[in-house]
Amino acid sequence: MTDSGLTATTASTASQPSSRAQAPEQVVGLDDWETGQLRAPEQHLCSPGYACPVGERLKHFTWAWFGITMSTGALGILFQDTPNRFTGLATIGKLAFITAIAMFLLSVAAITYRFVKTPRGLKTSLLHPTESLFFPSALISIALLLANSATYGVPVSGPWLPVALRVCFWIYTSVALSSSVIQYTIVFNAAKLPIRSMSPLWMFPVFPTLLTGVLASTIATSQPPPQRLPILVAGVTYMGLGFTVALILYPLYLYRLTQEGFPATAMRPGMFVAVGPPSFTAAGLIGLCKSIPLHYGYFETFPASPEMLRVIALWISVWLWAVALWFFAFTAIALVMGVIRDGIRFSMAWWAIVFPNAAFTIATSLIGEELDSQGVRGVATAMTILIVVLWFVTLFSTVRAVIRSQVLWPGRDEDFGHTNYKLDSGVS
C-alpha cells in the first residue's frame, strides 16, 4: 500500500465514529495485495513524523516474533544432525541453543509487556484472523527448546533431566493438541477467511502436533524402555495427525495459487511453510525408528519389526523429501522472480525462509546417514551452510527493519486492525 493509500485509510478511519461495543472478532478484513495480508479498515497508524516511544512500539510485539526462536532452535538440532562434522561443531550447536533460550525469554517478556499494557491484547491476538495463526510459534519454540535440551543437556547432566523432559513432553502433547483443536475451532467459527487469502500459514495451528514426532525422537533415547515406548507411540500419533491435516490443506493452497497467482513479494517467504510438514514428518519417522527399544514389549514379541520399520521409514521419508523439494523449488523460484521484478521489503515472514528449510535440511541429513551416501551427505552439508547464512541475513534484516520502523510500529505488524489499540493506546 502506498503512503497516499495509508493516509487515505487513516483519514477515512478518523472520520468514522468509534464504537467501544465492537468486538474484535467482528472486524472485517480487506485483502491487501501489496502486503499480502488481511488488513482491517479500522487500523490506526502513527502519523508521519510521529516519534513512537519504545513502550508504544512494544505494544505491537506479535506472536510472529517467536519465529526467531523457532529458527534458532532448529539450527541447534541441525548442527547435531549434520553428517560432515568438525571439531567445535557441538559447541556451535550449544551456542545456538543458548541463543534460542535468550530469544525465547526476551520474546516472552516483550509480549507479556504488550498484554499488560493493552488489556484486550491477548484476546484479540488469539482472535485476529492474521496474528492468531502465529500463536503456534510460541509452542513450536518450546518444543525445539526441549529437543535441544535432550540433545545437548542430557549427556552432561544428572538423571533428573530425562525425568524432567519426560514430564515436559506429556504436558506439551496435551497443550499442543488442545491448541490445535481450539484454534481451528475459532477459525472455523469466527474468522471467515476468504480462500483468496489462503497461505501455508493456515497449517500453522497444527504444527505443534507435527513437531511432537521430532521431539519424541530426541528425548526417547534417554528414557528407559517402559517410558520410551509410550513416547514413541505418541510421537507417531501426533505427527500423523499434523501431517494429515496439512495434507488436507494443501489442495486449498494450490487452488488459491492457480486462481489468484503468487502472493505479494514481501509475503512469498511465508510460502516456505509448505516445506515444513513433509520435512518434519520425514525427519521424525527416521528419528523415531532409530529410538525403538529393542527386545521390549511389542518389539520383543516381534523381534524383526524394528528393522522392518526402519526400512519402511526410510523409503517413506525419501518420498516425503521429494514432496518437500517440490514445494521448496517453486517457492524459491517465485521469490526470486518477485525480488527481481519488484524488490522486497522486510516482514516477519522472512523467518519462514529459515525454519521450514532447516527441517528440510535435517531430513536430508538423516536420509544421507541411513543410505550411507556421501553424495546426500554432501548436499546436506551444503544446505546447512546455506541455512546458517540465511539465518544471519534474516537476523540482520530484522534488526535493520526495527531501526527503520518497518516493524514494531503501529499498523505495520501482524496485529493491524486490533480495536484494542484504538481504545488503549490512543494512537491515531
Decide if 30 is inside a domain.
no
pLDDT cut 70: percent of the chain above it: 83
Q: In Å, what is the CA distance from 200 to each residue of 6, 216, 247, 292?
A: 27, 25, 11, 32
Per-residue model confidence as pLDDT tens digits over 149-202:
999 999 998 899 999 999 999 999 999 999 999 999 888 887 567 788 888 989
CATH of the domain at 171: 1.50.10.150
Q: What mean pLDDT is predicted for residues 369-385? A: 95
Q: Does residue 376 sit within a domain?
A: yes
**pLDDT value of residue 58:** 82
Nearest-CA neighbor of 146 among 91, 220, 92? 220
C-alpha cell at 130: 492474521
- Under the banding of pLDDT at 50, 70 and 90, the label for residue 84 is confident
Is position 206 within any domain?
Answer: yes
- The arithmetic mean of pLDDT across residues 203-211, rounded, is 95
* Cell numbers describing residue 349: 515472514
**Is residue 181 domain-resident?**
yes
pLDDT band at 416 (very low <50, low <70, confident <90, very high): low
* pLDDT score of 277: 97
The pLDDT tens digits of the residues spanning 5-36 come to 444 444 444 444 443 334 333 333 333 433 44
Write down the pLDDT at residue 174: 96
Residue 301 reports pLDDT greater than 80: yes
- Say how far apart CA 115 and CA 342 lie, in whole Å: 36
User: Quick one: pLDDT at residue 316?
Assistant: 97
Q: Residue 21: what pLDDT?
A: 38
363, part of any domain: yes
Reported as a single tens digit per residue, the pLDDT across 132-144 is 888 999 999 999 9
All three cell numbers of 155, joined, read 549427556
pTM over 0.75: yes
User: For residue 30, which phi and psi values (nearest 5 degrees)?
Assistant: -115, 135
pLDDT band at residue 398, thresholds of 50, 70 and 90? very high
Identify whether the C-beta of residue 107 lies closer than 8 Å to the C-beta of residue 66: yes
Domain range enclosing 91: 54-414
The CA distance from 425 to 55, in Å, is: 10
Contact 283, 215 (CB under 8 A): no
Percent of the chain, pLDDT > 90?
A: 62
Over range 342-359, report the average pLDDT: 91
Structure confidence at residue 426 as a pLDDT band (50, 70, 90): very low
Separation between Cα atoms, residue 122 and residue 415, nearest integer Å: 11
CB-side exposure of 96: number of CA atoms within 13 Å? 26
Determine the pLDDT at residue 182: 92
Are the beta carbons of 67 and 413 closer than 8 angstroms? no
Residue of 51, 69, 56, 132 whose CA lies nearest to 106: 69
For residue 154, the model assigns a pLDDT of 93
Residue 414 pLDDT: 60
Mean pLDDT rounded to a whole number for the chain: 84
User: Please, is 226 exposed, middle or buried when counting C-beta atoms within 10 Å of its C-beta (0-12, 13-18, 19+)?
Assistant: exposed
Mean pLDDT is lowest, of 114-118, 119-123, 164-168, for: 119-123
More confident call, 370 vs 48:
370
Does some domain include residue 372? Answer: yes
Q: For 69-95, what is the mean pLDDT?
A: 93
Count the domains in the chain: 1
pLDDT in tens, 38-59: 343 333 445 444 566 777 888 8
Residue 385 lies in a domain: yes
| Top-confidence residue, 315 or 421 | 315
Residue 417, pLDDT above cutoff 80: no
Domain membership of residue 24 (yes or no) is no
- Which carries the bigger pLDDT value, residue 53 or residue 326? 326
Distance CA 306, CA 194 (A): 46
